[in-house]
Structure 1
């Protein structure tokens, strides 16, 4: 039942159709609009001490201040506490040259959307916003991009034998570089990635950020997280040991509930399985919504257990406003000294 929530509609978005050149031009136009939107809405949020998208502790010692409920006791400043007889915590200043890595999931399940955007568009938009927030002051940003699994090569097999499984997916690494020009080139490469049929491997994508080990920084995973948590939770926990991790979950409203529109043909884009669903049945819609809610709760629990900050973006809402609120809330929490 949990995988039922991942089934998506076969109806294509008109603007996504067309020859490759048209798709490339569309991606370039989208990136140009995104750059203007992000600059107007997000610029200035991270002035002063920062650590990429998530303002907060770094490796350099800063000033001490009096302890407040909710502060991390691991940051207690014991010499000052002993000298003043009042508990104090040591504030830290983030490194000025930050290295940020994006893990961008562009598997087949992202090529869908019934709201204002395709899920793929929201993924690219989130990558553009995070890039703008972090690529400043000599900071470096890189990315690993995963698309759908490769289809099995045709081969002769015994009668009755199951078909060969799809490959683990195509994973591409874009080296971390500094400068806005290099960052724009990285975003164009992400936007131009072809979504391939078959299942992607989110666990392998996240694990690409663990190997080889990198200097401490920020790691951002952008996906719909529809793969079973058992596949990606452990690599994410491993990633959290060295990095500040942000998980950006992209959701479409049709993945949360079904509309009452009669018989609805749906297809799972990762497997190609086609079904006809009678959405007029209220009990079916209720079971679908319950299974989807349970699936999202499992995803949230796995992200929380991994220690990752969780940002959910929807295709039917203003993703930029949600991101502004998230960054502002993170900044407010860090300023007050509370934990995430």
Structure 2
């Protein structure tokens, strides 16, 4: 068995044991039709499906009524995976790029179902390229077999343009998942970010999940004396003294500000947001999201009924 095959099998077992059961199955369509969830109560007409008669309403009104259901269709998922050089960083258990690829593959496994398909966009220093939609297990397997992305160089396609490309390909209502560190080349930490507009337009039609990946050293600067920091995307270097407590405090404050601003931006775009990190078990964060989203969906379903 190859390393990629072992990695995929291990990931499959992890997902089945810890986070399975959220994204499988059908999603609501845009019209009434074959489905299971009640949507509209109407008078019975000859030829109607007698199995959908609401006997309580029929008894109260004296006229037969039945439920028309909202159409359901197979789930179409599109993944945008950020593999830019800023993702090739990690000071804990692994690098951000590795966590991102595993999360993306896990989404493929979670959405596996009859008729469901997953398309993938890969954003790296070579540009933006797409993997054709395929069944969830096949998409997850392909993600575990990816060759390493370039670790240096600028990214010719900004995240905002990649999101526009995602919207152009995701034509049918479904699920869009963006896995990224939300780090922009110009170092902007304050809103508005250029990617907000495209993300907002994406959420107008699709369910959108943004998975933000970070590393503990991006939140706090350790005291390791003199250090040379290098931007992998621009090649810019800066020598700093990490023993300076004021510098470390300023760094932590800027990092915290960036996290607050990105969270506010994602929330304002009406997308769902999950944070994972290289020093933590990403399955815990994903499992928590699965549980909370499932509860929200059940509450909404009860209200519509």
Which range, TM-score by smaller chain?
A: 0.7 to 0.9
1:187 aligned onto 2:143: yes
The match for 2:75 is: 98
Matched-pair contact (CA < 8 Å) for 1:145–1:205: no
What is the correspondence of 1:211-290 to structure 2 with a 5 Å cutoff?
Answer: 211-212=168-169, 214-227=171-184, 228=188, 230-290=193-253
Q: What whole-Å deviation, never above 9, does each CA across 1:103-133 have from its counterpart, x for those lacking one?
A: 1110000001011121011100110110011
Q: What SS class does the counterpart of residue 288 from structure 1 fall into?
A: helix
1:115 aligned onto 2:92: yes
Shift of 1:240: 1.3
Distance 1:206 1:186 in 2: 21
Q: What SS class does the counterpart of residue 110 from structure 2 fall into?
A: helix
The match for 2:43 is: none
Deviation >6 Å, runs of 4+:
90-94
What is the correspondence of 1:142-181 to structure 2 with a 5 Å cutoff?
Answer: 142-148=119-125, 169-178=126-135, 180=137
Larger Cα-atom Rg: 2
TM-score w.r.t. the length of structure 2 is 0.78
Matched-pair contact (CA < 8 Å) for 1:108–1:198: yes
Distance 1:318 1:258 in 2: 22
Distance 2:241 2:288 in 1: 38
Matched-pair contact (CA < 8 Å) for 1:174–1:186: no
TM-score w.r.t. the length of structure 1 is 0.70
Shift of 1:184: 4.0
The match for 1:314 is: 277
Distance 1:291 1:91 in 2: 53
The match for 1:34 is: 11
Distance 1:252 1:179, change over 3 A: closer
Distance 1:27 1:282 in 2: 44
Shift of 1:278: 1.0
Distance 1:91 1:30, change over 3 A: farther
Q: What whole-Å deviation, never above 9, does each CA across 1:222-250 have from its counterpart, x for those lacking one?
A: 10001145321111111112111110000
* Cα RMSD (Å): 2.8
Q: What whole-Å deviation, never above 9, does each CA across 1:138-167 have from its counterpart, x for those lacking one?
A: 10110111102xxxxxxxxxxxxxxxxxxx
Q: What whole-Å deviation, never above 9, does each CA across 1:256-282 have from its counterpart, x for those lacking one?
A: 111122222221111112222211111
What is the correspondence of 1:34-113 to structure 2 with a 5 Å cutoff?
Answer: 34-45=11-22, 51=27, 59=30, 62-63=37-38, 95-113=72-90
Q: What SS class does the counterpart of residue 115 from structure 2 fall into?
A: coil
The match for 1:124 is: 101
Matched-pair contact (CA < 8 Å) for 2:26–2:75: no
Shift of 1:33: 2.2
Shift of 1:30: 3.2
Shift of 1:255: 0.5
Matched-pair contact (CA < 8 Å) for 1:58–1:92: no
1:199 aligned onto 2:154: yes
| Structure 2 gap ranges (5+) | 41-56, 62-66
Matched-pair contact (CA < 8 Å) for 1:135–1:183: no
* Highest RCO, 1 vs 2 (Cα 8 Å, sep ≥ 6): 1
Higher relative strand content? 2
Matched-pair contact (CA < 8 Å) for 1:50–1:94: no
